[in-house]
């Protein structure tokens, strides 16, 4: 069976429908299926209930679908980076099922594993547990959470072979595998497509049995959600080099074991990057 489709639009055709429950992989803007989200926006599919760790940002990721009012409800754990989401929710235009992050991940994993429900201590005594079954185990109270079984899962991977075996890259291996396993139909966007057998068995993060359709997007934008730079103090490079040379010379003269090597602190410039 050929799982590879020429475009994201073609991969969605005949699968997505109004009113579906849909899981979308990613963590922040890292590991999101950019091309599939854009194609979903262009399809005009509406009244969606979307399961995702977050709701993207204004104008990017799932934020695009919020702006076009194609999402009627979000099942999420973090939505703090999207002002349009906040506006719609506070205005009563968008439903929200706020779910603790670990619980959200486990609800998807359970769905993919065929486990209909599970018990957790997270949320007990809060609004999260209201209206849900509580049970005592070992003298502790737990709340029952139901698994999530989305009609469609849109996920992002780094590499796929033509049978759908997937390998994710770094942080993109977050909600993507769980979303893929839970979806009744899984559509994956990848940066590279290889022949069957080119991914070593030990390198397969998700077997192709879970994947129904594949589309290649070799050049995703991978937008950085927040870029922060530290204020680096000036470093006297010449002095540091001179000190290092003196230490080397001393070590050569008396033996390296007898020399205490001074530590030169060079403030590092740090950048938070997302996208894999």
Mean pLDDT for all residues in the chain: 89
Tell me which residue of 145, 211, 153, 212 sits closest to 182, measured CA to CA: 153
The per-residue pLDDT for 271 is 47
For the segment 121-148, the average pLDDT, to the nearest whole number, is 96
pLDDT the model gives residue 273:
47
- What is the predicted pLDDT for the residue at 272? 46
Mark whether 106 and 160 lie in a shared domain.
yes
Confidence at residue 208, expressed as pLDDT on a 0 to 100 scale: 96
CB 86 within 8 A of CB 79: yes
If one compares 239 and 19, the residue with the highest pLDDT of the two is 19
67 and 171 co-located in one domain? yes
232 and 104 in a common domain? no
Tell me the CATH number at 209.
Answer: 3.40.1080.10
Q: Does 65 reside within a domain? A: yes
Diameter of the chain measured on Cα atoms? 79
Does 201 share its domain with 232? no
Q: Which domain holds residue 60?
A: 4-216
pLDDT digits (tens, 9 = 90+) for 84-101: 988 999 999 999 999 999
The mean pLDDT value for 14-28 works out to 94
Q: How many residues does the chain have?
A: 276
Mean per-residue pLDDT, 15-34? 93
Residue 276 has pLDDT above 80, yes or no: no
153 and 34 in a common domain = yes
Tally of domains in the chain: 2
- Whether the Cβ atoms of residue 59 and residue 223 lie closer than 8 Å to each other: no
* 238-260 tens-digit pLDDT: 887 888 788 787 777 766 555 55
Q: What is the mean pLDDT of residues 104-124?
A: 96
- Please check whether residue 161 lies inside any domain of the structure: yes
pLDDT tens column, 182-225: 999 999 999 999 999 999 999 999 999 999 999 999 988 887 77
Q: In this predicted structure, what is the pLDDT of residue 209?
A: 96
> What are the tens digits of pLDDT across the range 35-54?
999 999 999 999 999 999 98
Alpha-carbon torsion (175, 180, 183, 186), positive or negative: positive
């Amino acid at each position: 069976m050929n799982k590879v489709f020429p475009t994201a639009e073609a991969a969605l055709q005949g699968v997505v429908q109004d009113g579906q429950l849909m899981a979308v992989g990613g963590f922040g803007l890292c590991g999101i299926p950019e091309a599939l989200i854009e194609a979903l926006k262009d399809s005009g599919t509406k009244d969606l209930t979307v399961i995702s760790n977050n709701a993207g940002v204004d104008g990017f990721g799932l934020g695009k679908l919020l702006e076009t009012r194609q999402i009627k409800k979000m099942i999420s754990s973090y939505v703090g980076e999207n002002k349009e989401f906040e506006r719609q929710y506070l205005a009563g235009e968008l439903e929200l099922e706020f779910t603790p992050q670990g619980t959200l991940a486990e609800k998807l994993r359970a769905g993919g594993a065929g486990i209909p429900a599970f018990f957790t201590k997270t949320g007990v005594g809060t609004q999260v547990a209201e209206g849900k079954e509580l049970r005592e185990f070992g003298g502790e109270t737990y709340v029952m959470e139901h698994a999530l079984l989305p009609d469609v899962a849109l996920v992002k991977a780094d590499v796929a072979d033509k049978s759908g075996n997937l390998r994710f890259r770094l942080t993109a291996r977050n909600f993507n595998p769980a979303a893929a396993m839970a979806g009744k139909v899984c559509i994956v966007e990848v940066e590279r497509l290889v022949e069957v057998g080119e991914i070593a068995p030990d390198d397969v993060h998700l077997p192709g049995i879970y994947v129904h359709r594949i589309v290649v997007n070799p050049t995703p934008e991978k937008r950085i959600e927040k870029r922060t730079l530290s204020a680096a103090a000036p470093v006297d490079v010449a002095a540091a080099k001179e000190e290092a040379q003196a230490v080397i010379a001393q070590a050569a003269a008396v033996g390296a074991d007898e020399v205490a090597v001074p530590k030169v602190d060079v403030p590092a410039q740090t950048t938070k990057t997302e996208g894999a």
